[in-house]
Amino acid sequence: MKLLDKKTRVDATKLVIFIVVTTLATSVLVVLIGNLTFGSTRTYQAEFTDATGVVKGDDIRIAGVKVGSVKGIKIFKQTHALVTFSVLDKATVTRSSTATIRYRNLVGQRYISLTQGVGDVSRLPQDSTIPLSRTQPALDLTLLFSEQPEGLRLRL
């Protein structure tokens, strides 16, 4: 006794192939769109005077390439922000590296750019903190646009 006729078997085979291809394509899209990275990471911290706009999940970039993400932000010494982030193990963060908060787009999203500083080029130990002297907050555009020269003020 046959369980499935020939047409049903062909249709079932096509369905299985469709499901496998669709699942693979969806998985590739999730990895690409989600900027997911696979591999071991190292955790660091950076102290900023102002980390406004930085949120958990924002990118950490070296030379414009995403190498990690922000894991958390907390108040530090009552007037500073301590940003915890992870980077791929293959990305080198040195003892002289600097961290700068930059605008990612016109909407105001941010990312942290790590650059090689001058001096000690040995690798920064895991769980170390980049001090305030080697960090720079993002440009505050509201201050920039609210400052008007005296001659340009409108008088009503």
SS (H, E, C) 84-139: EEEEECCCCCECCCEEEEEECCCCCCEEEEEECCCCCCCECCCCCEECHHHEECCC
For the segment 133-150, the average pLDDT, to the nearest whole number, is 71
pLDDT bucket at 46, cuts 50 / 70 / 90: very high
Least confident of 1-5, 61-65, 107-111, 124-128: 1-5
- Give the separation between CA 47 and CA 129, rounded to whole angstroms: 7
pLDDT tens digits along 69-116: 899 999 988 889 999 999 988 888 888 889 999 888 888 788 999 988
Predicted local confidence at residue 76, as pLDDT: 86
pLDDT at residue 51 tops 50: yes
φ, ψ for residue 27 (rounded to 5)? -65, -45
- Give the separation between CA 147 and CA 61, rounded to whole angstroms: 31
Predicted local confidence at residue 1, as pLDDT: 46
- Range 76-112 burial, b when 16+ CB lie within 10 A, else e: beeeebbbbbbbbeebbbbebbbbbbeeeeeeeebbb
Q: What residue has token string 């990118």?
A: 59
* DSSP run (H or E) holding 12: helix 6-33
pLDDT at residue 59 tops 70: yes
Least confident of 16-25, 37-46, 66-75: 37-46
What is the rounded average pLDDT for all residues in the chain? 84
Pair type for strands 80-88 and 41-48? antiparallel
Q: Residue 57: helix, strand or coil by DSSP?
A: coil
Contact 84, 71 (CB under 8 A): yes
For the segment 40-66, the average pLDDT, to the nearest whole number, is 88
Amino acid letter at 80? Answer: H
Predicted local confidence at residue 11, as pLDDT: 92
